[in-house]
Amino acid sequence: METLKVVWQVEKMDFTRAGEGSSKIKKMLHQFSIRPDIMRRVAIISYEAEVNLVIHSFGGVLQGEVFPDKVVVTAKDKGPGIEDLSKAMKAGFSTAPLEVRELGFGAGMGLPNIKRSADKLDLQSSEEEGTELVATVYLS
Amino acid sequence: MSNFHSVNLREGLCNGCTACVTVCPTEAVRVNSQKAEIMTTRCTDCGACLRACPNHAKTGRVDNMKDLDNYKYKIALPDPAIFGQFAPDVQPERILGSFLSLGFDEVFDVATACDLVSKKIKEKIVKTNHPLISASCPAVIRLIQALYPDLIKNLVTIEAPLEVAGQLARKKAIERGLDSEDIGIFYISPCPAKVTAVKRPVARKKSSVNKVLSIVDLYGNILKFANMKNTKTLQLKASGKGYGWARAGGESLAVGAYNNVVVDGIEHVTKVLGEIEIGKLPNVDYIECWACVGGCVGGPLVVENPFIARVKIRKKAELLNNNVQSSGIDKLDHSIFEWEEEIKPRQIMSLDNNMTVAISKGKKLQEILSKLPGYDCGACGAPTCRAHAEDFVQGSIQSTRCVFKK
Ligand code: SF4
Ligand code: SF4
């Protein structure tokens, strides 16, 4: 099956570029006749996933892939892994350092927002392998 | 002809420099054979290209004074932005009066409609989706339809002052015994976006306004008549806040929005809309977005520098009554304030309606793009390498013509 993909490298703590990968993904979505609410959900997921990579990871890759029936956003990082997954999913829980929160990021809404916007969310994390987030939004 | 737009190219003046190509928020301009071309399906009439053109090759497609001859009774609807265009000693009362000397039978000051609309918006702020986005700049509405379609539901569903003024002016003239056919309503516009709002309204079938003239075209004559002794003066009836709508921030002030954000300049507007889209402004109630720097005082069809015009408007407004003038509003038929039709999204960038076809076109596009250098220099006539590859995939150009191609 043919798919269309955008892949974007995210550097740790590089706030000047935070959001660029997700805007590339959004640009790609504009090439399709996708329902506005779906487009917005993917925009939220990819932005939050990208910001998570910037704040919490040692760097990683953000990817958006369009299938005929769905859009899949993947964020894979090089660690350090999420200590307590169920805690991280709770709204308002954040491990972002104070400097980051002062910038207005890291309010602990990232994962809950992603979860709310995705139809399906897979999250795997370990100290050795890092974290891989796969969020799926169906097109109909 | 739903693709009507009102930015026009004076071919003779265009030298193909591509300055207009890179500023367009919807990538609607290309240069082919040394001349700019506008893709009508994409243009939002924001006027960014008019401003960017060093040769003044782009203009607004407006009507002209000859059109007055087609109507027995002519009403002028001057936009409040007009009051920021003249030197401080040119009195606003004389500016209004000069329209009578120009051949109009009546002047309906749009600022009075700004007062009424302010009151209606205020009611909405209390009870709708937040953040509420102002629907006063037609270029912003069209931008939202094209690039942020999910934000359509955040737009204030109240007609813009220009339309309300047109409706009221016509109604009153009919009540005085005039035949609707004989009435010509002429809006005096600061921009092409409002020309389109009249010729192809988004939220109603037909505008009550018949023709649109530009401030810049009338400027010389208004100045002449305003300075003549025997020109009549007309009293200003709107509040300072009504006139204040002409500048960015004036609308929020008039509607009494407290947790508000004011954004002007189309590139800033696109950024902020993007942030609203991903939920980054959760505590804001009202967002005023203007395509032009400074708001309508900075429209592409005005004369004065926006920063100076803005101060002039502010100073004039400060001399007037500062309470929004909405007495009598309850006696009006409120349908004049409401949108007649829902605003629909416009998918202007889509490669194909069919997902599978669009995906394979997208792959082709990426393949071509990988051979282009990514300088986004505009030398090929497209705003970016990606747009150039897209033109090729969509068949509007037969070969890529990158001067740097490896
Ligand atoms: S800015 Fe655009 S319209 Fe003006 S001369 Fe250059 S290419 Fe032509
Ligand atoms: S800001 Fe005012 S002048 Fe500029 S495009 Fe919008 S409505 Fe027209």
Q: Calculate what percentage of chain B has a pLDDT beyond 90.
A: 83
In eight-state DSSP terms, residue B85 is: S
Cβ within 8 Å of residue B241, ≥6 positions away: B114, B115, B118, B250, B253, B254, B317, B322, B323, B324
Gap between the Cα atoms of A24 and A32, Å rounded: 14
Considering only CA atoms, which residue is closest to atom 6 of ligand 1?
B17
Please give the pLDDT value at position B1.
43
Mutate to test the interface with A, among B351, B355, B368 (most CBs of A within 10 A): B355
CA of B55 to the centre of ligand 1 (A): 7
Q: Which residues of chain B make contact with A47, given a CB cutoff of 8 A?
A: 278
CB A62 within 8 A of CB A74: yes
Q: What is the mean pLDDT of residues B346-352?
A: 92
Q: Given a cut of 70, is residue B379 above it in pLDDT?
A: yes
User: Which ligand is nearest the CA of B266, by number?
Assistant: 2
Considering only CA atoms, which residue is closest to atom 2 of ligand 2?
B296
Q: Given a cut of 90, is residue B19 above it in pLDDT?
A: yes
Contact assignment for A23 to B345 by CB distance below 8 Å: no
Q: Is B278 on the interface with A (CB under 8 A)?
A: yes
Per residue in A76-96, pLDDT tens? Answer: 988 888 877 777 887 777 877
Residue A138 burial (CB count, 10 A): 12
Q: What is the mean pLDDT of residues B288-316?
A: 95
Q: Given a cut of 80, is residue B272 above it in pLDDT?
A: yes
Q: What is the mean pLDDT of residues B167-183?
A: 95
Please give the pLDDT value at position A122.
93
**Please, what is the angle between helix B355-371 and helix B385-393, to 10°?**
130
CB A28 within 8 A of CB A62: no
Contact assignment for B362 to A23 by CB distance below 8 Å: no
User: Which ligand is nearest the CA of B190, by number?
Assistant: 2
Amino acid identity of B286? Y
* ipTM (interface pTM): 0.88
A→B interface, C-beta within 8 Å:
2-4, 22-23, 27-28, 30-33, 36-37, 39-40, 43-44, 47-48, 66-69, 113, 139
Contact assignment for B358 to A139 by CB distance below 8 Å: no
Mutate to test the interface with A, among B276, B277, B278, B367 (most CBs of A within 10 A): B278
Please give the pLDDT value at position B2.
60
Gap between the Cα atoms of B378 and A132, Å rounded: 38
Q: Can you tell me which atom of ligand 2 is nearest the CA of B140?
A: 6
Please give the pLDDT value at position A108.
66
Contact assignment for A32 to B358 by CB distance below 8 Å: yes
Give the residue, B330 or B68, on which the prediction is more confident.
Answer: B68
- Tell me which residue of B46, B10, B1 sits closest to B28, measured CA to CA: B46
- Ligand 2 interacting residues, C-beta cut-off 6 A: B 46-47, 137-139, 190-191, 193-194, 290-292, 295-296, 299
Rounded to a whole number, what is the distance in Å from the CA of A81 to chain B's nearest CA? Answer: 25
pLDDT tens, residue order, chain A (140 aa): 899 999 999 988 888 888 999 999 999 999 999 999 999 999 999 999 999 999 888 999 999 999 999 999 999 988 888 877 777 887 777 877 777 777 777 776 788 899 999 999 999 888 888 999 999 999 98
Please give the pLDDT value at position B44.
93
Rounded to a whole number, what is the distance in Å from the CA of A49 to chain B's nearest CA? Answer: 12
Gap between the Cα atoms of B179 and B134, Å rounded: 34
Which stretch of A25-39, A110-124, B21-35, B322-336 has the lowest confidence by average pLDDT?
B322-336
Q: Is B376 on the interface with A (CB under 8 A)?
A: no
User: Which ligand is nearest the CA of B297, by number?
Assistant: 2
- Tell me which residue of B284, B282, B240, B279 sits closest to B258, measured CA to CA: B284
CB B46 within 8 A of CB B86: no
Please give the pLDDT value at position A94.
80
Backbone CA torsion sign across B171, B176, B179, B184: negative
**Residue of chain B whose Cα is closest to the Cα of A49:** B278
CB B114 within 8 A of CB B254: yes
Q: Is B275 on the interface with A (CB under 8 A)?
A: no
CA of B287 to the centre of ligand 2 (A): 15
pLDDT-derived band at B221 (thresholds 50, 70, 90) equals very high
Gap between the Cα atoms of B53 and B85, Å rounded: 22
Per residue in B232-246, pLDDT tens? Answer: 999 999 999 999 999
Q: Is B11 on the interface with A (CB under 8 A)?
A: no
Mean pLDDT of chain B: 93
